[in-house]
Chain A
Amino acid sequence: MSELRLGFPDNERKADVEIPPGTPPPWDLSTDHKVVGREHTRLDAVAKVTGRAKYSYDIRFKDLIYAKFLRSPHAHAKVKRVDLANAKAMKGVLYTESYEGETVRYAGQHVAGVAAESEEILDDALRAIVVEYDVLPCVTTVEEASNEGAPGVIEGRGNLEAGREQGNLKRVQDAHDEADIVVDAEYRTQVQTHSCLETHGSVCRWDGGKLTVWSSTQSTFAVRDGMARTFGIPQSDVTVITEHMGGGFGSKFGPDAWDQFCARAARATQRPCRAMLDRREEHLAGNRPDSIQKCRFSVKKDGTLMGAEVRSQGTSGNATGGANVYNPGIYRFRAAYSKQDTVLTHASSGRAFRAPGHPQGVFALEGMIDELAEAIGMDPLELRRKNDPNPVRLKEYEIGAKEIGWHRRKKSGSDAGPVKRGLGMASARWGHNARPGAEVRCTIGRDGSVILANGSQDIGTGTRTVIGLVGAEELGLGLDDVEVRLGNTNDPYGHGSGGSVTTPSITPPTRAAAFEAKRELLRHVAAAVGGDPDAMDLKDGKVTGAPRELTFKQACGMLAVDQVTALGRMEQKPGGGGHLYPPFTGEVAGVQFAEVEVDTRTGVVRVVKVVAVQDCGLVIDPLTARSQIHGGVIQGISYALFEERILDRRTGDQVNADFLGYKIAGALDMPEIVSIPFSVSQGMTTTGVSSLGEPPTVPTSGAIGNAVANALGVRIRSLPITPAKVLAALGGVR
């Protein structure tokens, strides 16, 4: 039996655990890390700042051709006729497809496709295609789609997709009856597009019957398997490469229609083909669904949260389902109930977007918590502390409140002058998403070179660097001593980068591979110089416990084989399922505090400062962890104040499908951001690393919404909080 020290210094818990033979002893609070937990610059930073990093968009061949779809200007129509004759007659047009006879369900759906020698010829050819439509009436909003007699989006079913019902309504109503205060309010959030800077798409090349795809994807293996299915070929005949990737945020788990089209064009012409979306099309390639959340929450005067009742509706465009919100949650309620519907509209489909359902749910949930606090005259931080079951978050409240200066918070609306300041806060809860199945291969060469290989991708989160740090730690080396190969499906399997699973799921296999390769190396060392290999280890570039001094390099020179290779997996409980070790909380916790300034003359909200305290289990690299938190906060600010997809209600066409009308936060919008990664020994796996990608973007809009309400004394329950909404909320008030 060994003792595992879980938690964090102020709140430590010990657990007696059995360490299965052949597995590395789990990292915990006692572990003295040499490289893990220290700041390191990214392994691919130089490639990125010099422009040498090759993204899928950058893959070039001498005989490369270009493919693109022609898209419908109508949101609902029958494609009566597609006349490709003029396009086909053009010199340099090599391949075409027609989708005549299909039904268009959103403006921008593809109706024809062309591949050509150059992008200029492609543009000419797409313009030369004549399409006849039977234009049909469309619905673009939840309200319109819900009207009696509204045009249906999918034949044979109504537009309302009644979603899941959770909790016991009767118990919630009893809780309301017992409460002192019941608050009803309706919150709304907008449709947000992912706006990845590298658009979706791929470059496809066939060599005989084998397909290589350079894909801008969050899941190389999903693209491989999807392409194999599309073409009815074995997975072994498909290679997907994603060396660098320009942002996905949940929208890139393809292959998508344009990728499949690209591969067909490449096969038909026997030439490599590129199909990357343009900026306008990118706004169609996924979004965060909107929401209308009708909330009824209740509380006792002493601050006990009682009932939480939420009925939400949202649209995921022409996709069935997907508009669920995370509300209620986080806090301990006496009873909770929610019913969540997705409403079909003639719009492009929603997709997973960084913490799907959470930012929209938490904006409403945290607004309601503040409304309850206001109603009973309690400090909103105090109300949260009183009802929060998570010990990590309780500590984070303390750290965050001190950093933002929460004691300065005034009574809502009491700040004097036309420019009013306010403070607000909100929380996040996420799962500890370590998922088994990923594998890492560690190879140690006789010259001392080390390669860690995995076939999944680094989407900008620092996965490549994390693998390097964990491998180096286990081998007693520095980050520069290991090479990490990532982004080729011919290497071992890795998960799609979604659900914040990547770092928790890839670090245990990395450790296991390095551990096993190390044991094998040390057995060779013992065979050469004697001693007990089980008593040896690798530390600071040297072998410890050997009969004589040996550097890592010298040890590698003693290999009786050319190299040792080990495949590492995430260890599971012997005999099946479940994590090896008990959890500390089994979830990740975050809190954010925001300070805003609202100009009551113009309605402009300026975020002055955000403090984000975020748990992610063990922190592997504080530098890249801070980047992740900063990034989450910045996307959250952008969501809170600027972003909104606007559809023409008559045609369904997006009127702001660019970066001029669709605003994302820029340099001038940046507040001071203090990101504090909070390291917790989570247990469960050999690394105790938890999820970080998604949670930091969850609370930001809620914290800003509450800060704006605190500044103004009037609450804006609709995102984005635009100057127009601020002025409308103020009415004549100055």
Chain B
Amino acid sequence: MEDGRIRVTRRDVLRGAGAAALVGAVAAGQEPAAPPAKGLARVGPGAVRVPFTLNGAAAEVSVEPRVTLLDALRDRLDLTGTKRICDHGACGGCTVFLDGKPVNSCLVLAVDVSGREVTTIEGLAKGDDLHPVQAAFVKHDAAMCGFCTPGMVMSCAALLSVTKNPTEEQIRRAVAGNLCRCGTYPHVFAAVREAGGGRGADGGAGEAAR
């Protein structure tokens, strides 16, 4: 338990599909289906209204408790930049920020973001001004088919938000959970080195290549 919330894993909820699921935050206007345990509300199995902050603006989505944040973003809110690739936390393609920290949105239930802050790839650039990571990805050709790219960009932006001028080792660790099938990794490393301030920006694989 943390912040008064009980963490319900997606698996538990999916297993209980059709039955009521336990969630910590009571969604506005939702009647509890059964007497709550201490500090908890029982919601579902029907749709639950989830108010939250999305890319800096107030948003709301109405979903069953079993719906992941990823599916809510893509199929309810039309934010398709976040990709569904493995759908079980193995590839990082669905990385978004939850309260400023990178998470796999396929492993977060939408009901669990009630009252919290979500940033997706669509919210990273300020209008036409690309985030430094995005600009460096463009320059270093760090996107080929581009399907892993939004998740990769989010992981790299998260790294730079806490580590200025990261080493190559730190960059590799930051994207260790982001799979790319086309093989953009060396270009990603070069891009993030540059975006981070250029430590060793000319020593890596992307640059050494000619």
Q: Footprint of B on A, CB under 8 Å?
A: 41-42, 44-55, 57-58, 60, 118-120, 123-124, 195-199, 244-247, 249, 278-279, 459-462, 622-624, 626-627, 629-635, 658-660, 664-668, 670-676
The complex places the Cα of A289 from the Cα of B158 at a distance, in Å, of 40
Interface residues, chain B, with chain A CB atoms under 8 Å away = 17-18, 64, 66-67, 71, 74-75, 78-88, 90-91, 93, 120-122, 124-125, 130, 134, 137-139, 141-150, 153, 171-173, 175-189, 204-206, 208-210
Partner of B90, one of A42, A46, A58, A660: A660
Q: Report how many A-B pairs have Cβ atoms within 8 Å.
A: 188
Beyond A45-B138, A627-B144, A633-B183, whether A119 also contacts B75 by CB under 8 A is yes
The smallest C-beta distance from A606 to any residue of chain B, in angstroms, reads: 13
Q: Are B145 and A49 in contact (CB under 8 A)?
A: no
Q: Are B144 and A658 in contact (CB under 8 A)?
A: no
Decide: A51 and B81 in contact? CB cutoff 8 A.
yes
Contact between A666 and B179 (Cβ–Cβ < 8 Å)?
A: yes
CB-CB nearest 8 A-B residue pairs: A51-B81, A460-B145, A634-B183, A246-B147, A48-B146, A631-B183, A58-B80, A51-B121
Cβ–Cβ contact B90 & A49, under 8 A: no
A123 CA to B141 CA in the complex, in Å?
Answer: 38
- Given contacts A49-B138, A197-B83, 13 further A-B pairs with CB under 8 A are A46-B134, A48-B146, A58-B74, A197-B85, A197-B91, A245-B145, A246-B83, A459-B145, A627-B183, A627-B187, A658-B86, A660-B88, A667-B176
Asked if residues A197 and B90 are in contact (CB atoms below 8 Å), the reply is no
8 Å CB contact of A624 from B141, B153, B180, B183: B141
Whether B145 lies near A672 (C-beta < 8 A) is no
A372 CA to B191 CA, complexed, in Å: 43
Contacts of A633 in B (CB 8 A): 183
How far is A45 from B125 in the complex, measured between Cα atoms in Å? 14
Interface core residue of B66, B183, B188 (most chain A CB under 10 Å): B183
Nearest A residue to B182, CB-CB: A631
Which residues does chain B contribute within 8 Å of A60, judged by CB atoms? 75, 78, 80
Which one, B80, B139, B148, contacts A197 given CB within 8 A? B148
Contact B149 A670 (CB under 8 A): no
* A195 in contact with B181 (CB, 8 Å): yes
Chain B residues, Cβ within 8 Å of A629: 209
Interchain CB contact under 8 A, B88 and A51: no
- Report if A630-B205 is in contact (Cβ < 8 Å); known contacts: A120-B64, A278-B87, A670-B186: yes
In chain B, what residue has the closest Cβ to A671? B205
CA distance A461 to B141 in the complex (A): 11
A-B contact pairs, 13 of them (CB 8 A): A42-B143, A49-B134, A57-B83, A197-B93, A247-B147, A462-B144, A633-B183, A666-B185, A667-B171, A667-B188, A668-B176, A670-B205, A675-B209
Contact, CB under 8 Å: B130 / A46: yes
Smallest CB gap from B85: residue in A: A197
Taken together as a complex, chains A and B put the C-alpha atoms of A626 and B206 apart, in Å, by 9
B138 and A197 contact, CB distance less than 8 A: no
Question: A411 CB to closest chain B CB, in angstroms?
Answer: 29
A244 and B148 alpha carbons, distance in the complex (Å): 13
Residue of B120, B134, B205, B206 ringed by the most chain A CB atoms within 10 A? B205
Identify the interface centre among A42, A58, A624, A633: most chain B CB within 10 Å of its CB. Answer: A58
Cβ 8 A contact of B141, one of A41, A245, A659, A670: A41
Residues of A contacting B66 with CB < 8 Å? 120
A674 with B81: in contact, given A45-B143, A120-B67 (CB under 8 Å)? no
Complex Cα distance A230/B137, Å?
42
Option from A45, A630, A660 in Cβ contact (under 8 Å) with B209: A630
Which residues of A have CB within 8 Å of B209?
A: 626, 629-630, 673-676
Whole-angstrom distance between the alpha carbons of A43 and B125 in the complex? 18
Taking a contact as CB atoms under 8 Å apart, the answer to whether B141 and A45 are in contact is yes
- Chain B neighbourhood of A632, CB < 8 A: 183
Which residue of chain B is the closest to A622 with respect to CB atoms? Answer: B210
Q: Is the CB of B138 within 8 A of A51?
A: no
Question: CB distance A51 to B150 under 8 Å?
Answer: yes
> In the complex, are the beta carbons of B81 and A119 less than 8 A apart?
no
B residues near A55, Cβ cutoff 8 Å? 80, 147
Report if A668-B173 is in contact (Cβ < 8 Å); known contacts: A42-B141, A460-B144, A658-B90.
Answer: yes
The winner among A51, A52, A60, A459 for most chain B CB atoms within 10 A is A51
Bound-state Cα–Cα, A199 to B85, Å? 7
Q: A51-B82, A53-B146 are in contact. Are A623 and B182 (CB under 8 A)?
A: no
A54's partner among B67, B80, B84 (CB-CB below 8 A) is B80
* A residues less than 8 Å from B93 (CB atoms): 197
Residues of B within 8 A of A279 (CB): 85-88
| Residue among A45, A245, A660 with most chain B CB within 10 A | A45
Across the interface, name the chain B residue whose C-beta is closest to A198: B147
Alpha-carbon distance between A460 and B182 when the two chains are bound, in angstroms: 8
CB distance from B175 to the nearest CB of A (A): 5
Distance (Å) between the CB of B137 and the closest chain A CB? 5
Assess A630 versus B139: contact at CB under 8 Å? Given A49-B153, A50-B134, A119-B71. no
In the bound assembly, the distance between CA atoms of A52 and B182 in angstroms comes to: 19
The smallest C-beta distance from B94 to any residue of chain A, in angstroms, reads: 11
Residues of B within 8 A of A123 (CB): 17
Q: How far is A624 from B125 in the complex, measured between Cα atoms in Å?
A: 24
Q: Measured between alpha carbons, how far is A572 from B51 in the docked complex, in Å?
A: 63
Contact of A244 among B91, B142, B146, B182 (CB under 8 A): B146
Return the chain B residue nearest A623 by Cβ: B141
Given A119-B71, A247-B182, residue A461 in contact with residue B150 (CB < 8 A):
no
User: Contact between B208 and A659 (Cβ–Cβ < 8 Å)?
Assistant: no
B137, A49: Cβ atoms under 8 Å?
A: yes
A578 shortest CB reach to chain B, Å: 34
Given the known A-B contacts A41-B141, A50-B134, are A670 and B87 also in contact in the complex, defined by CB atoms under 8 Å? no
A307 to chain B: closest CB distance in Å?
37
Closest approach, in angstroms, between the C-beta of B54 and any C-beta of chain A?
A: 14
Q: Report chain A residues within 8 Å CB of B176.
A: 666-668
A623, B144: Cα distance in complex, Å: 11
A625 CB to closest chain B CB, in angstroms?
10
**Contact between B179 and A461 (Cβ–Cβ < 8 Å)?**
no
What's the Cα separation between A189 and B130 when bound, in Å? Answer: 44
Q: How far, in angstroms, from A119 to B106 measured CA to CA in the complex?
A: 14
Task: Specify which chain A residues have a CB less than 8 angstroms from the CB of B175 in the assembled complex.
Answer: 667
Say which residue of A46, A49, A196 sits within 8 Å of B181 (CB atoms). Answer: A196
Task: Report the separation of the CA atoms of residues A58 and B82 in the bound assembly, to the nearest whole angstrom.
Answer: 9
A460 adjacent to B183 (CB under 8 Å): no
Determine the distance from Cα of A632 to Cα of B181 in the docked complex, in whole angstroms. 10
**Docked complex Cα distance between A461 and B146 (Å):** 10
Query: Complex Cα distance A195/B189, Å?
Result: 23
Q: Which of B120, B145, B184, B208 contacts A198 (CB 8 A)?
A: B145
Taking CB as reference atom, which chain A residue is nearest B143? A48
Q: Check A49–B179 contact: CB distance below 8 A.
A: no
Give complex CA distance A75, B205 in Å. 44
- The answer to whether A664 and B80 have CB atoms under 8 Å apart is no
Shortest C-beta distance, A348 to chain B (Å), equals 19
Residues of A within 8 A of B18 (CB): 124
The verdict on A51 contacting B143 (CB below 8 Å), with A120-B66, A279-B88 known, is: no
